[in-house]
Amino acid sequence: MKSSAAKVCNLRKVYAGNGGGTAALDGVSFDAEEGEIFGLIGPDGAGKTTLMRIAATLILPDSGTAEICGFDAARDCRRIRQIIGYMPGKFSLYQDLTIEENIAFFAKVFGVRKEDGIEYIEEIYRRLEPFKKRLAGRLSGGMKQKLALCCALIHRPKLLVLDEPTTGVDPVSRQEFWDILQNMKKIGISVLVSTPYMDEAARCDRIAFISSGKILKTDSPQNIVAAFPKKIFRASGGKMFELLKALRGSGLAESAYSFGDSCHIVPKCGARIEDLKKCLQFSAGNFSVAEAPATLEDCFMELNSGERNRS
């Protein structure tokens, strides 16, 4: 049985406010194993950043426990900070230092010398080296994130804690970043990462869907999609606003929401594809409707809808 890289149990965190307080985390539990990429997937305000800050020992929970590589996040913060690499959502390195100066600074902080060998970050540094004399504040979003990752890895941590590391980064840089994470896993570095992007969720070994401070489901992306219990229809063409309006007013759909240049429909029990076509032909212009496989987005929307109905 694998050991835990990050194990949290019944975490609760409430931020005080004028209305008495908001529960950012409301009884969150999960177990991220050593050697895996574990993703926390959810929208803004779901509680991801609060959870990441607790894992990084930056804030304390109001109740519950968090163990990072076997150490208690409340009692053993100094030990934990030596064995994790942390990247906050906002770029936080020294913007008036160059790339090589930032790396040298963090190497000194962690007592890393050239002779210690840092070949595991050479792949990342090769992408940065042509710009090593450039100030960090003048880098593109993707280059900033690669520099931040390089500094987070300088001491070869056991666990990387990454809070939405690719938000606002171009698609090519996002792809490169996740390729690097896969390579880090191969050399034994565990990854705890939060993201709102479902394509990134699909690259994790396991994920936990989180919404309004609660975990909705934890499993591999493949198992979550395979367990989706309902049919999905995909409608495209026509005018999207009219298409959604017709579907939502038809009485045939449990849910209908936009999905890129189309919309996904969860039909009510007994509703057929012919019924949907007949409903739309008078209101949505040219369109097509076909059965489609479920995606992680469909799974999250269904789980989130079920949670709202229970509340």
The domain locations on the chain are 4-226, 233-293
Report CA-CA distances (Å) from 81 to 56, 102, 309. 7, 18, 40
Contact, 7 vs 31, CB < 8 A?
yes
- pLDDT of 102 over the 60 cut: yes
Mean pLDDT of 114-135: 82
CA separation for the pair 255, 214 (Å, rounded): 22
DSSP state for residue 34 in the 8-state scheme: T
How confident is residue 261, by pLDDT bands cut at 50, 70 and 90?
confident
CATH class label, 4-226: alpha beta
Q: What is the pLDDT of residues 50-95, one digit of tens each?
A: 999 999 999 999 999 999 999 999 999 999 999 999 999 888 899 9
- Between residues 238 and 187, which one has the greater pLDDT? 187
Angle between helices 141-153 and 171-186 (to 10 degrees): 10
Amino acid of residue 218: T
Mean pLDDT of 258-263: 83
Confidence (pTM): 0.90
Q: Which of 179, 153, 187, 152 is nearest to 35 (CA)?
A: 187
- Which residues are 195's β-sheet partners? 41
Look up tokens 């989130």; give the residue. 304
Q: How far apart are CA 59 and CA 13, in angstroms?
A: 10
